[in-house]
Amino acid sequence: MPVRQYLCIDQKSFYATVECVERGLDPMTTNLVVADPERSENTICLAVSPSMKALGVKNRCRIKDIPGHIKHIVAQPRMQLYIDYAAEIYAVFLKYIAPEDIHVYSIDESFLDVTNYLKMYGMTAKELAVMIIKDVKDTVGTICTCGIGTNLYLAKIALDIKAKHAVDFIGVLDEESYRSELWEHRPITDFWQIGEGKATRLRNRGITSMYDVAMASEDLLYNMFGIDAELLIDHAWGRESTTIADIKAYRSKSKSLSSGQVLMRDYKYHEGEIIAKEMMDQLCLDMAAKKLATDSVSLYVGYSYTQGIPGAGGTAKLATETNLASMLVPAIETLYHRIVDPRFVIRRVCLSCNSVVEDIGVLQLNMFEDTTKQLRDKAIQETMLGIRAKYGKNSILKGVNFDPAATGRERNLQIGGHRSG
């Protein structure tokens, strides 16, 4: 059985590069950030161009943190444009690799299993990567970096740690070279799935590198991280058994739909309630469009960081599964009143419809409810979905959407919380 070869291809400073390409500028020499300056000077940059990074400007910095002496272009986010570019890049991949051997990890990063294509093309994995990267540059205009590994983990690490320091932006790893080159690499947070919290717990035990993890007592690691220690230990040795086929075959046992937003200013108690109700109403439409229903909704409200207090969270349980706003919005309203402290201002609201199931029909929801009203509400909901599908999300709205505190109309014009174009 041949040793598997994976490519992990990432688009370098994707959003910023797209904006440079659209302007006919070279992203390697153009100072550009993608951010919405209309929000505030505290707005986080979604991306900065490679030339800005070379000047020490960090990705995800705030507009106000960019040194004043650096002249730069501020580009408004255009999420639909980035999605369109991502689709063009995927189309380039499909010229060489079948869709069953491609896993789209994010809008700007994909894994490709090229094992069965190397003999056909008469190339090494690196030669094939170079050809695909060149085609993306020639066809789309974006710049790729690439990690090549004998499993998905090593391909990702080759991308994240090695490729950024390579002249050709390509890094290569197998288990042997991983251990010889990266076992002593620090900081340990450079490795996939090791955040500051996990790194701190490891550091408190004197573990600061993947070599230290590999040499550590497995009992110690299992006591610290439970079942997650198994993955950590495998990764310390450069092992990963999951394949793209496994990822594509996976089906979650339970599903949920969620929505969250960080508010652009501090919201008072009654304004936060407007946001929660508006978000619940939209989630109801999302569930109806997907023929899903829920009998449990969760709400989390984060207070302004200036108050230095933890947020509030809770869950409301309904008697039956539903996607009707006439049942779920009152439930979230009651939950909001129960968990939120009116003394504090609000900066974050998150909602989740838990363990969603297939919508089996309004008449089966609850025989003790007024099914005539439910049928009417269902018909109204279906009509709203039809109108929105044809004329756009803002073509039909509810009264709550016109409250001064409401954000729904603006969010309907966004993708992922940012301007669509």
Whether the ω angle into residue 404 lies within 30 degrees of 0, i.e. cis, is: no
Sign of the CA dihedral with 324 first, then 329, 334, and 340 last: positive
* C-alpha to C-alpha distances, 185 to 149, 195, 333, nearest whole angstrom: 17, 15, 50
Smallest CA-to-CA distance from 268 within 307, 310, 314, 297 is with 307
User: Could you tell me which residues come within 8 angstroms of residue 112 by beta carbon, excluding any fewer than 6 positions away?
Assistant: 6, 7, 8, 9, 93, 97, 101, 102, 103, 132
> H helices within 23-78, ranges in order?
50-54
Q: What is the pLDDT of residues 305-351, one digit of tens each?
A: 888 889 999 999 998 899 999 999 999 999 999 999 999 999 999 99
For the chain, give every domain's residue range. 1-174, 183-247, 257-419
Give pLDDT, residue 296: 94
Give pLDDT, residue 250: 82
For domain 1-174, the question of CATH label 3.40.50.720 is answered with no
Instruction: State the pTM of this model.
Output: 0.76
Q: How far apart are CA 293 and CA 285, in angstroms?
A: 10
Residues 183-247, CATH architecture: Orthogonal Bundle (1.10)
Q: Do domains 1-174 and 183-247 have the same CATH topology?
A: no
Percent helix / strand / coil, the chain, rounded to 5: 45, 20, 35
Q: Coil, strand, or helix at residue 165?
A: helix
Q: How far apart are CA 89 and CA 101, in angstroms?
A: 15
CA angle 175-180-185, nearest 5°?
105
**CATH fold label, 257-419:** Dna Ligase; domain 1 (3.30.1490)
Give pLDDT, residue 364: 47
The segments of the chain whose pLDDT lies below 50 read: 362-365, 367
Give pLDDT, residue 351: 95
Give pLDDT, residue 391: 80
User: β-strands 346-353, 144-149: how paired?
Assistant: unpaired
The amino acid at 247 = I
Residue 217 phi, psi (nearest 5): -65, 130
Q: What is the pLDDT of residues 209-264, one digit of tens each?
A: 999 999 999 999 999 999 999 999 999 999 999 999 999 998 777 688 899 998 88
